[in-house]
Each structure stands twice: as structure tokens, then as C-alpha cells.
């Protein structure tokens, strides 16, 4: 059936009429749904440029060497599909399921993979066999093809356990992607955006990350031996203490343990408190961004509207502190003590707070801000709160899009009015929590 109505032009790729393609897809659906008359879709070396297969059920379909440039495969089921050496340039794969798909040697340049699932997908280099028109094996030639993913947009994509070693990933956007245990060994990732990505246990050995943006990424347990980090932005990045060599530290942009800043810290905090109490007429707003404040004791300190972007506050004592409308985005707050802190209107976007104690915190919306009486919601979008303690916290109206609450203690938390879309809640304890029913539907 795969050859029905197909033409074989000089480029070796077969053309197919839309009606014949629809029939192949229909028969494949019968096969996967265990209905009689089903047949596997065999579309190797077909020209499928610009076809629309959005939402189609095509697990284990064979697209070896096919041309799918500009194709629409949005939300398609391509689990275990063979896309070996396929041309997927500028393809729309938003939300597609490519779990364990064979993408060796595929070209995905400029493809849209936002929210796609590529768990354990194989995206390594591949060698594609091409036969002459008579199909005689003695005339076969081999094209060694490096998988190319340059300029793809893969925001929030899940590549857990995928094999991408040796691939070309120039200027790829992996913002907030899940790259847990992903193997990027010797890949070229120059200029890529990995902001907020979950990269626990990721293999980055020998990877070229020159000019890459890893702000707010979690690199716990990642292997970085031989990685090139010239001008890579690692501010706000969670990284093991001994993961980087001395030369890598010199090459990368990192938070600084500034001795002079530590000496000046009490004066900066006093000036900030005067600035708060005088409604900005006296003193000066504190900007402590990119400082290493590990284990600092700032309990009960008034840090309203303070700027602490990308700061390291691992294990810091912030109990009872006042942080209304403060900016702590992309901070490392692992195991910080923030019990009963005032976090109304705070910005904790992409902050890493694994194991932190936020019990009894007030994270509600600030009402009547400025002359326009605007509301200022707390923002914890894509924050990482796995294993954190939030029992009794008030998160009314908070932005919790994509927030990771895995195994968190959320007993009696007030989530009313909060946006929990795409939040990760596996293993979390919601006993006694208040959640708007309509807000639960997108949480996972």
C-alpha cells in the first residue's frame, strides 16, 4: 500500500497523492488500535514536504530518509517512530510525542519542539544507505549524517534520557526544558539558551557551551569534564561545588563571593531599610544580584523590594524575613529556611528551592500597588520546589505555571485563585489543601 500512487523522481524520493497518504495513515491507525485490516505505515524516502499530520496516531511508523520539511506534526503520536536521516527542517512538532523515536542523523534545523516529549529518543549521528534506482546493493552509497538541531525552539520539551551526543545544537532554545540524564557528550551547543532547564545528571562532557545561557538551570550531578564554557552565563545556575575546573571557572560568568560586598553588606541592608521606611525618599534600594550569600543569616530582615536576582542563598536563614515585591528570580535557595516569611508579590521565577522550608509563608497578592491601585501577584513560575516544605502557606492568586512541587509537603496550603497550569505535583502531599477545582485540570 505504501507505494500506491507514488512517483519516483530524479532525487530518489517518492511522491504520493494526499488520498493515498490518508489511506496509509488510516490503515496504520487500524493496526495500532488492534482492528482488522491494519497495516504499518512505511513511508521511507517519501517526499512529504508541508504535509499536515497533526494529531495523527503514528507510533512505530517508518519515515526513514523522508523529507518532512515544513510538515505539521503538532501533537502527533510518534512514539518509537523511525525518523532515521529524515529531513524535519522547520517542522512543527509542538506537543508531539517522540518517546524513544529513532532520530539518528535527522535534520531538525529550525523545528518547533515546544512541549514535545523526546524521552529516551536517539538523536545521535547516523549513516544513511542510499541505493541506485535499480536497487542493486553493490551500488549502495552511505551518507554519514550528524544530527542537526540548530536553531530549534524546544521550550519546555522533555528529553529525559535522550541520546544527543555529537549533535549540532547551535543556538538552540531549551528554556525550561527537562534534560534529566540527557547525553549531550561532545555536542556543539554554542549560543544555546538553557535558562531554567532541569539538567540533573546530564552528560555535558566535551560539550561546546561557548556563549550559552544557563541562568537558573539545575545542573546537579551533571558531568562537565572538558566542556568549553567561554563566556557561558552560569549566574543562578545550580551546580555541584567541584563540578568545574579552575580554567572553566575563569572562562564562565559565575556568581561572585565578593569579600568587599560582604564587608559592606550591613551598611547596604541598613540603607535599604531606610529606603523602604521612607518610601524611597532616603537611603538606597539594595541590589545584591549575583552575590554568593551561602548560609547568610538574614532572619527577620526587612528586604521589601530588594533585588537578589541569581544570588546564591543556599542554606540561608531567612526565617520571618520581609520580602514583599522582592526579586529573587533564578536564586539558589536550596535548603533555605524561609519559615513564616512575608513573600507577598515576590518574584521567584525559576528559583531553585529544593528542600527549602517555606512553612507558613505568606505568598499572596499585594493589593493596591502604586497610584493605579494595581495588584501584584507572587510569581513562582517554573520554580523548583521538589521536596520543599510549604505546609500552611498562603499561595492565593500566585503564578505557579510549570512549578515543580514533586514530593513537596503542601498540607493545608491555600491555592485559591492560583494558576497551577503545567505544575508538577507527583508525590506531593495535598492533605487539607484548598485548590480551585478549575485550576487543577492542567496540573500533572
Domain ranges of the chain: 169-254, 260-444
* List of residues 6+ apart from 161 with CB closer than 8 A: 119, 120, 180, 181, 182
Q: Which residue bears the cell 522582592?
A: 326
pLDDT in tens, 41-68: 999 999 999 999 999 999 999 999 999 9
SS (HEC) of the chain = CCCCCCECCCCCCEECCHHHHHHHHHHHHHHHCCCCCCCCCECCCEECCCCECCCCECCCCECCCCECCCCECCCCECCCCECCCCECCCCECCCCECCCCECCCCECCCCECCCCECCCCECCCEEEEECCCCCCHHHCEEEEECCECCCCECCCCECCCCECCCCECCCCECCCCECCCCECCCCECCCCECCCCECCCCECCCCECCCCECCCCEECCCECCCCECCCCECCCCEECCCCCCHHHHHHCECCECCHHHHHHHHHHHHHHHHHHHCCCCCCCCCECCCEECCCCECCCCECCCCECCCCECCCCECCCCECCCCECCCCECCCCECCCCECCCCECCCCECCCCECCCCECCCEEEECCCCEEECCECCCCECCCCECCCCECCCCECCCCECCCCECCCCECCCCECCCCECCCCECCCCECCHHHHCCCC
The size of the chain, in residues, is 444
Question: What is the rounded average pLDDT for all residues in the chain?
Answer: 91
What pLDDT score does 438 carry? 45
Torsion of CA 128, 129, 130, 132, to 10 degrees: 170
Q: How confident is the model at residue 371 (pLDDT cuts 50, 70, 90)?
A: low
pLDDT in tens, 325-366: 999 999 999 999 999 999 999 999 999 999 999 999 999 999
84-88, 263-267, 309-313: segment of lowest average pLDDT: 263-267
Cα separation of the two ends of the chain: 40
**Cβ–Cβ contacts within 10 Å for residue 77, how many?**
20
In this predicted structure, the answer to whether residue 11 has a pLDDT above a threshold of 80 is no
Which CATH number among 2.40.10, 2.160.20, 2.60.40, 3.40.720 corresponds to the domain 260-444?
2.160.20
pLDDT in tens, 380-394: 999 999 999 999 999
* List of residues 6+ apart from 72 with CB closer than 8 A: 50, 51, 52, 53, 54, 91, 92
pLDDT in tens, 143-187: 556 688 899 999 999 999 999 999 999 999 999 999 999 999 999
pLDDT in tens, 269-323: 999 999 999 989 999 999 999 999 999 999 999 999 999 999 999 999 999 999 9
pTM of the model: 0.88
Q: How confident is the model at residue 261 (pLDDT cuts 50, 70, 90)?
A: confident
Closest listed residue to residue 121, CA positions, set 68, 78, 74: 78
What pLDDT score does 85 carry? 92
Calpha distance 135→113 (Å, rounded):
35
Same fold, 169-254 and 260-444: yes
Beta pairing class for 238-239 and 218-219? parallel
Q: How confident is the model at residue 9 (pLDDT cuts 50, 70, 90)?
A: low
Percent of the chain whose predicted confidence (pLDDT) is above 90: 83
Q: How confident is the model at residue 260 (pLDDT cuts 50, 70, 90)?
A: confident
pLDDT in tens, 70-85: 999 999 999 999 999 9
Q: How confident is the model at residue 126 (pLDDT cuts 50, 70, 90)?
A: low
| Cα angle for residues 221, 198, 213 (degrees, 5° grid) | 100
CATH class of 169-254: mainly beta
Calpha distance 368→113 (Å, rounded):
40
In this predicted structure, the answer to whether residue 408 has a pLDDT above a threshold of 90 is yes
What pLDDT score does 262 carry? 81
Per-residue cell: 120? 529516551
Per-residue cell: 15? 511522491
What pLDDT score does 255 carry? 81
What pLDDT score does 369 carry? 63
Counting Cβ atoms within 10 Å, is residue 324 exposed (0-12), middle (13-18) or buried (19+)? buried
Percent of the chain whose predicted confidence (pLDDT) is above 70: 89
Calpha distance 427→419 (Å, rounded):
19
Calpha distance 393→415 (Å, rounded):
9
Q: How confident is the model at residue 136 (pLDDT cuts 50, 70, 90)?
A: very low
Counting Cβ atoms within 10 Å, is residue 43 exposed (0-12), middle (13-18) or buried (19+)? buried
- Average the pLDDT over 207-222 and give the result: 97
pLDDT in tens, 15-24: 999 999 999 9
- Give how far Cα 328 sits from Cα of 4, 259, 289, 308, 352, Å: 60, 21, 9, 5, 10
**Cβ–Cβ contacts within 10 Å for residue 129, how many?**
13
Q: How confident is the model at residue 12 (pLDDT cuts 50, 70, 90)?
A: confident
- Give how far Cα 358 sits from Cα of 307, 309, 340, Å: 20, 19, 7
In this predicted structure, the answer to whether residue 1 has a pLDDT above a threshold of 70 is no
Q: How confident is the model at residue 142 (pLDDT cuts 50, 70, 90)?
A: very low
Amino acid at each position: 500500500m505504501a507505494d500506491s500512487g507514488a512517483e519516483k523522481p530524479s532525487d530518489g524520493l517518492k511522491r504520493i497523492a494526499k488520498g493515498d497518504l490518508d489511506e496509509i495513515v488510516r490503515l496504520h491507525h487500524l493496526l495500532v488500535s488492534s482492528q482488522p485490516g491494519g497495516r504499518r505505515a512505511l513511508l521511507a524516502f517519501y517526499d512529504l514536504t508541508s504535509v499536515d499530520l497533526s494529531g495523527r496516531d503514528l507510533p512505530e511508523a517508518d519515515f526513514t530518509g523522508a523529507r518532512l520539511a515544513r510538515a505539521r506534526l503538532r501533537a502527533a503520536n510518534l512514539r518509537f517512530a523511525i525518523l532515521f536521516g529524515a529531513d524535519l527542517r522547520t517542522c512543527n512538532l509542538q506537543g508531539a510525542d517522540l518517546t524513544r523515536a529513532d532520530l539518528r542523523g535527522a535534520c531538525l534545523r529550525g523545528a518547533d519542539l515546544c512541549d514535545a516529549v523526546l524521552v529516551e529518543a536517539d538523536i545521535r549521528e547516523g549513516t544513511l544507505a542510499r541505493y541506485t534506482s535499480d536497487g542493486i546493493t553493490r551500488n549502495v552509497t552511505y551518507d554519514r549524517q550528524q544530527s542537526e538541531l540548530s536553531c530549534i525552539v524546544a521550550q519546555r520539551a522533555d528529553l529525559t534520557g535522550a541520546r544527543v551526543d555529537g549533535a549540532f545544537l547551535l543556538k538552540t532554545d531549551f528554556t525550561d526544558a527537562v534534560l534529566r540524564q540527557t547525553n549531550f557528550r561532545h555536542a556543539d551547543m554554542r549560543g544555546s539558551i538553557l535558562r531554567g532547564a532541569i539538567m540533573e545528571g546530564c552528560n555535558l562532557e566535551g560539550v561546546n557551551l561557548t556563549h550559552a545561557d544557563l541562568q537558573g538551570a539545575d545542573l546537579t550531578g551533571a558531568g562537565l569534564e572538558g566542556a568549553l564554557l567561554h563566556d557561558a552565563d552560569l549566574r543562578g545556575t545550580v551546580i555541584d561545588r567541584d563540578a568545574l575546573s579552575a580554567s572553566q571557572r575563569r572562562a564562565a560568568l559565575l556568581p561572585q563571593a565578593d569579600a568587599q560586598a560582604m564587608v559592606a553588606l550591613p551598611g547596604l541592608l541598613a540603607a535599604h531599610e531606610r529606603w523602604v521606611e521612607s518610601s524611597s525618599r532616603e537611603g538606597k534600594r539594595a541590589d545584591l544580584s549575583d552575590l554568593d550569600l551561602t548560609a547568610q543569616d538574614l532572619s527577620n530582615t526587612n528586604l521589601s523590594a530588594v533585588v537578589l536576582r541569581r544570588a546564591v542563598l543556599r542554606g540561608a536563614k531567612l526565617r520571618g524575613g520581609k520580602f514583599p515585591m522582592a526579586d529573587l528570580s533564578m536564586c539558589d535557595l536550596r535548603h533555605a529556611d524561609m519559615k513564616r516569611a512575608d513573600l507577598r508579590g515576590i518574584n521567584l521565577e525559576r528559583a531553585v528551592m529544593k528542600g527549602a522550608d517555606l512553612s507558613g509563608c505568606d505568598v499572596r497578592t499585594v493589593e493596591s500597588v502604586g497610584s493605579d491601585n494595581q495588584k501584584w501577584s507572587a510569581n513562582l513560575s517554573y520554580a523548583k520546589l521538589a521536596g520543599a516544605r510549604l505546609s500552611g502557606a498562603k499561595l492565593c492568586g500566585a503564578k505557579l505555571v510549570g512549578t515543580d512541587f514533586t514530593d513537596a509537603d503542601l498540607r493545608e496550603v491555600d491555592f485559591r485563585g492560583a494558576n497551577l497550569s503545567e505544575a508538577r505535583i507527583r508525590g506531593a502531599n495535598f492533605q487539607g489543601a484548598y485548590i480551585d477545582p478549575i485550576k487543577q485540570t492542567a496540573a500533572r
